[in-house]
Amino acid sequence: MLAACAARDSNSRGRNYPEPPPKIRSEYQRDRDRIIHTGAFRRLMYKTQVFVYDEGDLYRTRLTHTLEVAQIARSVAVALGLNEALTEAIALAHDLGHTPFGHAGQEALNDAMRKFGGFEHNFQSLRVVELLEEKYAEFPGLNLTFETREGILKHCSQANARRLGELGRRFIEHRQPGLEAQLANLADEIAYNNHDVDDGLRAGLIRVEELMRIDLFGSPYIEVCRRYPGLATRRLIHETVRRMIDALVTDLIQQSRANIQAAAPSSIEDVRSLPKPLIAFSPSVGSNSRVLAQFLRKQLYLHPRVQTATQEATRVVQALFKAYMNNPALLPRNQAVFASDLNHADTDMERARRVADYIAGMTDRYALREYQRVSGQAPHEAKYSGTA
């Protein structure tokens, strides 16, 4: 059933700490299951995707975003004969390193960390599964297979790539990851573009009239209106969005299948040495998807009401970073012990990384509570007052 170029247990590059093979599951099923049982995975429930968690119960959170990515990625994996469990494992782990408060939190933490090597959320997802989840007796992290970790590290700076050894090598040599990793990446794009349309409309931050100018939305919207005249708004939007997802997924499968046939890689190693990814949209659909992404960036992420919340998030993250750096005693006990040990080492660098790990792991609401505790001030909670 699996394509020749799919990942499989028999050609895996394995785990950093050797373990006996699983009795019932495949290696990648074991990876997936370990990811689901992490604290970092559970905390995705209270982390912002675009909308802060207490704005309404219907908006996507990082967790529901992650589940939508996994759903799309699995469908395509099966259609292309790729390893479904590996694809799912990568999708479920891809946002584990995200800070609270979405992109605002990530930018604020990156700013604060500028002197200390910066903060990258993909790299942080890898730190979570390699180091920060302390659960197993015999190794730090989850001891995932190379292929899952390769997929989690979607982007990486050259400096971090050099430090990572084998896992970082592809960023230096401009090689590709396996097809399951390529797929999880595009499933992420399909998921967020479509659910941000849905959430943006629900919040009243974008309007159907504006979206009509975007072909990806306009064509199915007109089709649904013609076919079901007078359909109630929520059903009309859902029927449109599901057609958008279907159009993107169908195009992705067709184009990727053609790419795989043309390149005819006979193994995952062949895939890695190709100059370009094989999992791709057709040129016209790819460009339509970029047009939608640009629209959302301008109309949604840079919307004044979203920006107000963004500024507040930035202030909270900056204040937390400064407070912990100036006074490690404010950190919880296990972190504080570590931080005071670091006083004897040299290293502001290591303390900063530890503080960044701690802040990145916070949920939105925990960060707000911590802000109140360390500053004595209540955060000004900015809300969008969405329409639903």
Taking CB under 5 A as the binding criterion, the range among 91-99, 153-161, 165-173, 330-338 that sits at the site for Mg ion is 91-99
Shortest Å distance, C-beta 136 to Mg ion:
26
Closest to Mg ion by CB, 70 vs 319, is 70
Is 120 among the residues that bind Mg ion (CB under 5 A)? Answer: no
- CA 388/CA 386 separation, integer angstroms: 6
Count residues binding Mg ion (CB under 5 A).
Answer: 2
Q: Does 95 bind Mg ion (CB under 5 A)?
A: yes
User: CB-wise, 155 or 207, nearer to Mg ion?
Assistant: 155
Among 130, 147, 150, 188, binds Mg ion (CB under 5 A): 188
Give the span between the Cα atoms of 364 and 101, in whole angstroms.
Answer: 6
Is 13:71 a contact under the CB 8 Å cutoff?
no
Cα separation, 16 vs 33, whole angstroms: 18
- Find the shortest distance in angstroms from Cβ 63 to Mg ion: 11
- To Mg ion, the closest distance from the beta carbon of 91 in angstroms equals 9
Residue 189 interacts with Mg ion (CB under 5 A): yes or no: no
> How far out from the chain centre does Cα 26 lie?
24
Considering the complex, state which of residue 61 and residue 145 has its C-beta at the smaller distance from Mg ion. Answer: 61
- Per DSSP, 46 falls in state G
Can you tell me which residue has the tokens 């990156």? 110
Residue with Cβ nearer Mg ion (12 or 182): 182
Q: Which helix (H) or strand (E) holds 39?
A: helix 39-43
Choice between 92 and 325, CB closer to Mg ion: 92
Name the CA radius of gyration of the chain, rounded. Answer: 22
Give the number of residues written for the chain.
388
3-state class (DSSP) for residue 145? strand
Closest distance to Mg ion from the beta carbon of 78 (Å): 21
Q: Which stretch binds Mg ion (CB under 5 A): 93-101, 209-217, 241-249, 330-338?
A: 93-101
**Residue ranges of the alpha helices (H) in 113-164?**
121-127, 146-152, 158-164
Q: Which stretch binds Mg ion (CB under 5 A): 20-28, 90-98, 272-280, 289-297?
A: 90-98
CB atoms within 10 A of CB 385: 9
CB of residue 62 vs Mg ion: minimum separation in angstroms? 8
Residues that bind Mg ion (CB under 5 A): 95, 188
